[in-house]
Structure formats: C-alpha cells, structure tokens
Amino acid sequence: MIVYLVRRFGQSLLAIAAMAVLVFVGVYAIGNPVDILINPEANQAEIEATVARLGLDKPLWEQFLLFVWNALHGDLGDSFVYGRPAVEIILERLPATMELAFVALILSVGIGVPLGVLAGLKPDSIAGRSIMAGSILGFSLPNFWQGMLLILVFAVLLGWLPAGGRGETVDVLGMQLSFLTLDGLRHLILPAVNLALFKMSLIIRLTRANTREANLQDYVKFARAKGLSSRRVVLVHILKNIMIPVVTIIGLELGSMVAFAIVTETVFAWPGMGKLLIDSINLLDRPLIVAYLMLTVFIIVTINLVVDVLYSVLDPRVRLSEVKG
Amino acid sequence: MTLLDVRDLKTHFFTRDGVAKAVDGVTFSLERGEILGIVGESGSGKSVTGFSILGLVDPPGKVVSGQIIFDGTDLVAAGEKTIKGLRGKRIAMIFQDPMMTLNPVLRIDTQMVETVLAHEKVSRAEALARARETLTMVGISAPDERLRSYPHQFSGGMRQRVAIAIALLHKPDLIIADEPTTALDVTIQAQILAEVQRLCAQSNTALIWITHDLAVVSGLADRLAVMYAGRIVEEGRTADIIGQPLHPYTRGLIGSVPQGKPHGAMLTQINGMAPSLLNLPEGCRFRPRCPRADEACLVDPPLSEPIRGRGVRCVHPHLETRDEVLAS
C-alpha cells in the first residue's frame, strides 16, 4: 500500500510539473500585459521600467525558471493588477467556491444516486422514464440558461430566493462560510442547484446504467435466493458495487466543479474563484491566471489521489493487486 | 411424504417478438430427501423451472398458470411474501457459476451472516458461529480465516463450497442446484457431487439437480426428468431411464454420451436443432428431429404411463426390451 501510494504521489508531482510548463508557456503566448496595464500616455522610459519591474524583459526560459523557483518557495508571483501575492487573492476567494462546489456535490450525489438507482431498477416504469427524460434536459440545456431560468422563476416570479450575490457569512477557522446562516443559505441554494444540475444528470445516467447491469448479475439473484429483503439487496449488494464507477466520476467532477464554476459564478454574481479568473483574463493579469491554473491542477490531482485511495476501500480486488504490485 | 408437487406449471416470457413458452406444462413431484435430476439441453426450460419454484423469474417472464405445492402451500397462489419467507430458509438454491454468485465486494462473513439474519432473530455472534460451523461442514479448512476473506481470494471449487454452505445455513427442506458443477473442472466436480450427496443424505434434504450432463446426474439422482422445449418428455427412476429410455429424445441423449462406449466407437447424434420457444412445431415438439415421427405425431401427445412408474410424452415410445435397445 505504501509503495503504491508513493508511486501514485510521484505520478501526481509529474502531472503538476507538466502542467506548469504548459500553463506558463500558454499564458506567455496570449499577448503583452503591459499594453493593458500601463497608462496610455506613459513614455518609452516608463514602459521599459515597468517591463523590467515585472520581469518581462527576460527570455522565456529565465522567466519560467524564476517562476518555478519562486513557486517552490510558495510564491506564485504578485498580481499585476492588485499588487498583492496572487495566491493570497485566490485563497480569499477559495472558500466561496469550495462551499458552492461542495453543496452542489452533495445535492448531485444525494439526489442523483437514489434517482439513478430507482431508474435502473425499474427502467420501464413511468418514474424511470421521467427521471431519464429529466436528466437529458439536465445535461443538454446550457448551464447559464438554466441559471437564468432559475433566477427568473425563483427570484423574479416567485420571489422566494435572492437572485445573486453571497449572503451573510460566518468566520470559521479564518474562512468566511455562508451556509451556516439562514441568509447565506438562501443565497447559496440557487447557484448550488445550478451547478449541481449537470453533474446530477451525469450521476443519474451513470448510476442507472450500472444498476441495470448489476441487477442482472448472478450475485444479485443469489442474494434474493438467500431470502434477503429487497432493501438489503439494493442498499448493500447493488449499491456497493455501483459506487466504484460513481466515486470515480464524483472525484473528477468535484475537481472540475471547483475549478470551473465560472459560468454559475458569473450568472449569480458569486464572488468566487471563477469570477476572479474571468476578470484576470480580461486584464491579462498573468501571475493570477497562472496561479489560478496551478492551484486548479493541484486540487484536481489531489482529488484524484484521494479517489484512488478510496477505490481500495470500496473494492477489495484493488487492494490485492496493490500488494502484488 | 410429498414435499413438492409441481402441477402443470407454465412460465412464459412476454418478449417483443412474441411469447416464449420457456416452461409449458411441467408436472413432477418430489419426496422428502429425494434427489431429482432435471436433464435437458440449453433452452429446454430446466433453469426457468427452478427459478419459478423460488419465485425468482425475471421480467418479462411470468408464471402464468399451474401450481407449485410446497409442503401443502401453493406458492403460485400464496404470493411474494410467503415465497420470500421460504427462500433461503426452506428452499435454497445453488447457481451455475461460482465466480458470479458471491458478491465480489462483500466479505464471506457478511454474505453468510446476512443470510442467517434474514430469517432468524439471533445475535451476530451466533450467526457467525453458525457460518463457521457450516463452512467446516462443507469441507473448508480454517473457516475463521476464510470468513474474513473476499470471494476473489478463493478458487472456483472453494467458492462453490461457500455457496453450498450458504444454501445449507438454514438446513433447508429443498435445494435447487442449477448446474452447480458445470463451471468446475472434473476432479472438483466429483468432490462437490459427493459432498452434496452426503450432506443431503445427512439432513434428509431433497435436491433438484438441474443439468445438461446426463453422466453427472445418473450417478447422483434417484429419479430423472428429461425436459425438451419447455416440457418433461420422460420421467422415471434413474436406472430405468438410463437402462431403457422410452422417449426417442432421451435415447438420443444417452446415445450421445461417450461414457461406457467402446473406444473409438461413433457417438450417435440427434439431428437438427432445438426449436425456438417462440415458434414451436405443431403436435409433438420433438417431431421434426425424431426418427420415429409420422402423422400420428401431429397431435400433441399427453404424458402416458406405458410402464408402471414411468411417464413418457410420446406416441411411439421405445418399448423394445433393453437388449434390443443396446443392440440397435
């Protein structure tokens, strides 16, 4: 197990290194930030001074090495726009996005898995067909449009929930969290539902397909022949088997939810990381973009690592092959 | 005393292409402690007969008519609740592929304890003790260690032993074994056969052994029922059927078994293929493949009893003496 973890950890580091090169070179290629940042009336000497101050006069490889060196010391550079460390700015926004993503994740798993199992057990029933039809809407309608529709119905027509922004927050261990207050929760519901809908549809379809498959397996029939209640057959025998692919998808999707909640955050004016990224791209704030992408990579790689460890908890066959490996 | 009495059982599958009559009027009975072999080729309805008794026919299949009287109760009329109480408790089942019957992600102890607890209100420790005892009974050494293992850590034969142990947990009156040795190699097959025979004799458990392998079942069963296209075409005591098969199909089956033939002798084969259950031939279902068929076979033959204790569904049964059969 330890050998496996060490090897898996090495792979993660490699992925992060490869991503660092791609991100840095990619961002370098998208234009000169000085043109945007500097006062249009500045003279040549001032421009050159700024370029030198930002380190943009050095060749690409030198800039990259400097970036890596600083990154290893936990410094991903200062934002051109805010003049403060980029990581600091992102981390300020991180709790808002994390909170949104986790609530969305809980919603999509908590609703998606039961609905998927139901649709898988009774694929031809009215309920099963409705769930499938609903899930098609869930992942084929554009996310931003769903968000706007949610605002239209629940905020404008019904007036039940606020249309955007983040509610009252509470300080928990230095993080500003809003789901602990009623006002915060009211603000959180719509964006979380919006972010959850797509993932929920995905989970429903995945769970349904796996449930249908598992339901035909001999071990399920054998479990019934043993006289077990259908409840136990479904909740223990089927569910534990289908959780393996579902956990994979949840892991992948949690990463992408944290990283790319951009659309939802924009529609609902949610002050998270996604909105920060959009603003930074508009201003060509290179260190911030790079820091954001690096942090995203880090989060996704970490989640994948956790998922791999979770596998071995869920599937005893994986544990055995690890021992051999 | 009759334990199980199946009368005119019909289980049909309502598919898009039509109604498949997988089991179409099967009648047989079973005494306590008796071993009945149901023999037939794939698609003859033998497995579906087994699943019908347990009420485990998957949709689109359905028991459409008939009676399954188990110890005085008609399971077809009684409904799901009654059958659920019997499943695993008084009627147990062993499946064909031991690689597939145990849940791969649950430990053996979980799978055994849940079976005990499904029918009896005992403590976990008691259930575990029972599981340990039963594993020892089916010849698994170091049961404590085995209980904490997962199915993938077992060989096929061991898994089938575990499945048998699970079937035996409640000392059932009847075990339905659906080709349980087909997926095992020959030596293990022989071991399992002997084991099952011994355990059933010990506890006076009746056994229905479903198989396509006449050689396996002939050494095991007290009586045989030969199925063809959803019906029993012949039944009787094992020795009688093997010695003097009355139905041309049974005769064909016995002729195609290599056992007991001189080395190098040609095996006989049954011409043609089993009919589609969606489109059965008129009259006797074996007619298109039967060497003895004539116009009389266009009328569906009833189950007759040309010899005492022998049932056969044929217009022209082989009533020649045993010597003639062997000579021909």
Mean pLDDT across A154-179: 75
Domain of A198 in residue numbering reads as 86-324
CATH architecture, range B1-90+173-328: 3-Layer(aba) Sandwich (3.40)
Give percent of chain B above pLDDT 90. Answer: 0
Give percent of chain A above pLDDT 70. Answer: 93
pLDDT of A13:
87
Tokens of A17: 């290194």
How many separate domains does chain A show?
A: 1
* Chain A CB contacts of B104 below 8 Å: 219, 241, 315-317
pLDDT of B261:
67
Query: Which SS3 state, helix, strand or coil, does residue B68 take?
Result: strand
Inter-chain contact B85–A227, Cβ cutoff 8 Å?
yes
Q: What is the pLDDT of residues A229-280, one digit of tens each?
A: 888 888 888 888 888 888 888 877 777 777 668 888 888 888 888 888 888 8
Please check whether residue A236 touches B, CB under 8 A: yes
Planar angle of CA B25, B28, B34, nearest 5 degrees? 155
Look at A180 and A14; give whichever has higher pLDDT: A14
- Lowest average pLDDT, out of A175-184, B32-41, B242-251, goes to A175-184
Q: What average pLDDT does the structure give for chain B?
A: 82
* Chain A CB contacts of B116 below 8 Å: none
Which residues, listed in sequence order, are joined to residue B227 by a DSSP beta bridge?
B232
Strands B35-39, B223-228: pairing kind: parallel
Mean pLDDT across A115-143: 86
A 256-315 → B contacts, CB under 8 A: 314-315
pLDDT of A115:
92
Inter-chain contact A237–B101, Cβ cutoff 8 Å?
no
pLDDT of A325:
39
- Measure CB to CB from residue A317 to each of B102, B114, B152 and give the nearest one: B152
Residue A321 has pLDDT above 70, yes or no: no
Query: What is the spatial distance between Cα B233 and Cα B241, in angstroms, rounded to a whole number?
Result: 12
Query: What is the spatial distance between Cα B95 and Cα A218, in angstroms, rounded to a whole number?
Result: 8
The reply to whether A297 falls in a domain is: yes
pLDDT of B324:
55
Mean pLDDT across A145-173: 79
Look at B328 and B290; give whichever has higher pLDDT: B290
Q: Where are the domains of chain B?
A: 1-90+173-328, 103-169
Residue B247 has pLDDT above 60, yes or no: yes
Place of tokens 């060989």: B155
A320 falls in which pLDDT band (50, 70, 90)?
A: low
pLDDT of A31:
66
The reply to whether A14 falls in a domain is: no
Q: What is the pLDDT of residues B13-56, one digit of tens each?
A: 888 888 888 888 888 888 888 889 898 888 788 888 888 888 88
Mean pLDDT across B164-186: 84
Which residues, 6+ apart, have CB-to-CB distance to B313 below 8 Å? Answer: B231, B232, B233, B234, B247, B284, B301, B302, B303, B304
Inter-chain contact B54–A320, Cβ cutoff 8 Å?
no
Buried b (16+ CB within 10 A) or exposed e, B271-297: eeebbebeeebebbbbbebbebbeeeb
Q: Where are the beta strands (DSSP E) in chain A?
A: 170-172, 175-177
The reply to whether A31 falls in a domain is: no
Q: What is the pLDDT of residues A197-233, one digit of tens each?
A: 888 898 899 999 888 888 888 888 888 888 788 888 8
Q: What is the pLDDT of residues B53-94, one digit of tens each?
A: 888 888 888 888 888 888 888 888 887 888 888 888 888 888
Query: What is the value of ipTM here, to two decimals?
Result: 0.81
**Among candidates A323, A304, A310, A309, which has minimal Cα distance to A19?**
A304
B323 falls in which pLDDT band (50, 70, 90)?
A: low
Query: Taking an 8 Å Cβ-Cβ cutoff, which residues of chain B contact chain A?
Result: 54, 56, 58, 84-89, 92-93, 95-97, 100-107, 114-115, 118-119, 150, 152-153, 163, 166
Query: What is the spatial distance between Cα A137 and Cα A201, in angstroms, rounded to a whole number?
Result: 8
* Chain A CB contacts of B152 below 8 Å: 316-317, 320
**The CATH number of the domain where A171 resides is what?**
1.10.3720.10
pLDDT of A324:
45
pLDDT of A81:
76
Phi and psi of B228, rounded to 5°?
-145, 125
Q: What is the pLDDT of residues B117-165, one digit of tens each?
A: 888 888 888 888 888 888 888 888 888 888 888 888 888 888 888 888 8
Which residues, listed in sequence order, are joined to residue B10 by a DSSP beta bridge?
B24, B65
* Chain A CB contacts of B14 below 8 Å: none
pLDDT of A12:
85
pLDDT of A241:
85
